[in-house]
Structure 1
Amino acid sequence: MFNFDEVPLPKLGLTGLDGVLSEEELAIQDVTHRFAEEVMRPIGEKLDKMDPQDVVAEGSPLWDYIAKMDESGLLDLEAIGGMSDAEKSRIIPIIFEELAWGDCGLALTSMVLKFPAFAAYNTGKPELIERFGKLRGCWVATQPDRGSEVVDMDFTEGHPDTKQHRGNLHARIDGEELVITGQSAAWVSATPIAECALLYCQCDYGDGLYKEDGSHNYVAALVPFDLPGVSKGKPLDKMGMRALCQGEVFFDEVRIPLSYIVAGQNEAFPSFFGALTFGNMEMGISFTGVARAAYEHALAYVHERKQGGTELINHQTVRARLFKMQQKVEACRALALRAFAYNYGPNGPHLLASATSKTFVTDTCVEVTSEAIQLLGGNGLTKEYPVEKLFRDARTAQIADGENNVLGLKSATWLSKEYKNRVGL
């Protein structure tokens, strides 16, 4: 039983029903929130309305954001790398929820730009750290004719007696070099401003691209973009997350030393699995921030807008709908934080945890942002109010970093495998 002398108002933090946050965590949350509010939201709003080519052009507000993010130290790789797993499980989600609350496209830009550097640091090799540790990067995995098949890299969901599609982008070993040919999909995040890539693609190690089960041999490598044969397409014009520039990159017999390979024939799939596990985990907490932003806009609006002779909040149905939005935001955060706790705990990490979070949160975020539009009525459909942008951002996230139904299918396979292993089937 809880005992009260009198009934108090609930005490809500920036992220709602917070439990106990340490002084350090509260300070990090406050600094990140102010950065998101003062820097990210104004820049994100500008970029959302710009032509994709203007977004990446010299003088674009995007460059101002990147410089200010670097100055802030919020995503310092060495500082994050020095944290314990327990600290990472609590501090990283605090940072990314606030950043995405500011603007999810910019938040994900900052994460993707550091993917190759993070991979270089993970190798522990001074050569790679020196070459790639300070470069802006991107994560090349999907191809024009290979989207969901990349998520199914181990080919558990393919039709019987078939092979994976050969794909457009592939590599081969030639002496002491890896030779890369083909193009990526247009959906590769940060490509238009990237100086290098963490590349995953099919690879011929001398026995062809295919394994006996119809799946591919893969390679993971760090690829500089200042080499002969590398070129880029136009930035993609898309529905949401417009601050996150995306585009294709072309490789015409691009040669890199074998020392740039970070995961070879037997390690490439586990390496990709790790990258996707991290990316999905970040998507879960990031779009919790987007859902929260939509809820907060709706909460403020219904206290100002009058209909039926009084503010909207005084109508019972509005209060009931608002509560459902708040409930969904809390559910998103709870599941996203649970994924972080699992992945940085003794039983993790695993894609099952991250995909469980990513798919639920992004689907629920679409529901919350849609309801925010509904509560704003006609105003919610206009670009004068931010909720229509949040809805476009949320809808994009159901496909980004793995289409939700495919991620669900892969997750169900992992559930089945775990069950069979546990019961001895």
Structure 2
Amino acid sequence: MDYFLTEEQQMIRDTAREIASEKIIPVRAELDEKNEFPTSILEDMAKADLFSIFIPEEYGGFGGGCFEIVLALEELARGCVGVATSYAASALGIFPVLIAGSEEMKKKYLPDVAAGTRWAAFGLTEANAGSDAGGVQTTAVLDGDEWVLNGTKQWITNGGEAHLYTIVALTDPRKGARGASIFLVEDGDPGFSYGKKEDKMGIRASATRELILKDCRIPKDRLVGRQGTGFITVMKTLDISRPGIASLGVGLGQAALDEAVTYAKQRVQFGKPIISFQAISHMLADMAIQVEAARALVYAAARHIDSNPKKMSKASSMCKVFATDMAMKVTTDAVQVLGGYGYMKEYPVEKMMRDAKILQIYEGTNQIQRNVVGQELNKEYAS
């Protein structure tokens, strides 16, 4: 369908599509097998200015919004969700600085992020703070001109590969979530280290590690925003980033549909290509309908967020749920269309099905997203 993209938006889409076709697809199986971080591909993205999309022009970026990020991520995910996640996580990691950082902080860090020479990561999740993001236990204590951070972050995307980490920590534990603040920690800061790289079911090209903060000392000016406003910034960050996860689902669903249709046209049984059988053609038709419906919702939600930044929670959660549930179903159906071949690593739909599962889990499980939508409905229909 024609979504009336501007010339700049078409350029973003086409650039990301070219990288997916030429750089990602030829090596995605190898990256998955080796559990290998796609450093060289991220460097190619930097050369193509993809990291500048989400950075304002005054800091060396393109000045795009949620919609432009969605366009890029969808195309990258058609190549590999693991690689696309590595790119998306850098945007997620720097969003708190964009939302709440001081002008001095933005001038210092954003140009390097826009150039793709420094990658970012978001340090929120802990062993006891997953869906209950307010359960963070990492602490930050001011000691003279330095903050001292102690705690452990779990399952952090880009952990050990990123150069910049936005860390959520309690500056006043007595206030719970209202006592949370955000800090910018750099790779190499004293007291900052990494745990083992996780061995995951899917998105294996993406690096996932623990972040360990043991008397980690950082300068006083690395506080992002005002003290005690960290949880508000976290919620705003996730509202902006969730359509990106939804777009990964759209790209993955499209890739699985492409593989399934191509196979169904080539595979002959009972003397005919299997696409000629109604059982298969109806399955493919449902897959196509679901992909296009998800794309329409994600695009609409992204455009809504860009024009209504104060009212984005419901749209953000709705598109994340719909598109990622779609990706799980469509990739499962793609495996079914390919039959025994679909279950083999020689064919890409096996990997796509494994990759799809995490989309329903990270950046807020789909059960949590349904809670958000329900809460927003409750507010809207309050008497």
TM-score w.r.t. the length of structure 2 is 0.91
Tell me how far apart the structure 1 counterparts of residues 323 and 104 of structure 2 sit (CA, whole Å): 38
CA offsets 1:158-201 (integer angstroms, 9 cap, x no match):
xxxxxxx5x5422223343321101111x100012122201112
Aligned to 2:129: 146
Aligned to 1:178: 147
Aligned to 1:419: 381
Q: 2:90 aligns with which of 105, 113, 134?
A: 113
Aligned to 1:158: none
Cα deviation, residue 33, structure 1: 1.2
Tell me how far apart the structure 2 counterparts of residues 42 and 201 of structure 1 sit (CA, whole Å): 41
Contact preservation (8 Å) 1:121, 1:129: no
Pairing of 1:312-351 with structure 2 (within 5 A) = 312-346=274-308, 348-351=310-313
Q: 1:75 aligns with which of 51, 69, 89?
A: 51
Q: 2:209 aligns with which of 244, 247, 264?
A: 247
Contact preservation (8 Å) 2:298, 2:319: yes
2:186 paired with 1:202: no
2:76 paired with 1:99: yes
Q: Which has the larger radius of gyration?
A: 1
Q: Which runs of 5+ in 2 are unaligned?
A: 113-117
Aligned to 1:410: 372
Change (3 A) 1:143 1:133: farther
CA offsets 1:350-407 (integer angstroms, 9 cap, x no match):
2221111111111111000000000000011000000011111111111111111122
Contact preservation (8 Å) 1:117, 1:133: no
User: More helix per residue: 1 or 2?
Assistant: 2
- Give the 3-state SS of the residue equivalent to 2:208 in structure 1: coil
Backbone CA RMSD of aligned residues? 2.3
Contact preservation (8 Å) 1:179, 1:256: yes
Cα deviation, residue 226, structure 1: 1.3
Aligned to 1:59: none
Pairing of 1:335-374 with structure 2 (within 5 A) = 335-346=297-308, 348-374=310-336
Aligned to 2:24: 40
Q: Percent identity?
A: 29
- Give the 3-state SS of the residue equivalent to 1:375 in structure 2: helix
Amino acid at match of 2:76: L
Q: Which moved more, 1:280-289 or 1:20-29?
A: 20-29
Q: How many residues align?
A: 375
Tell me how far apart the structure 1 counterparts of residues 311 and 21 of structure 2 sit (CA, whole Å): 32
Q: 1:65 aligns with which of 36, 41, 59?
A: 41
Change (3 A) 1:299 1:190: same
Q: Which moved more, 1:135-144 or 1:404-413?
A: 404-413
- Give the 3-state SS of the residue equivalent to 1:210 in structure 2: helix
Q: Which moved more, 1:252-261 or 1:171-180?
A: 171-180
Q: Which moved more, 1:290-299 or 1:63-72?
A: 63-72
Change (3 A) 1:346 1:117: closer
Contact preservation (8 Å) 1:136, 1:194: yes
Q: 1:28 aligns with which of 12, 29, 54?
A: 12
Change (3 A) 1:316 1:116: closer
- Give the 3-state SS of the residue equivalent to 2:381 in structure 1: helix
- Give the 3-state SS of the residue equivalent to 1:402 in structure 2: coil
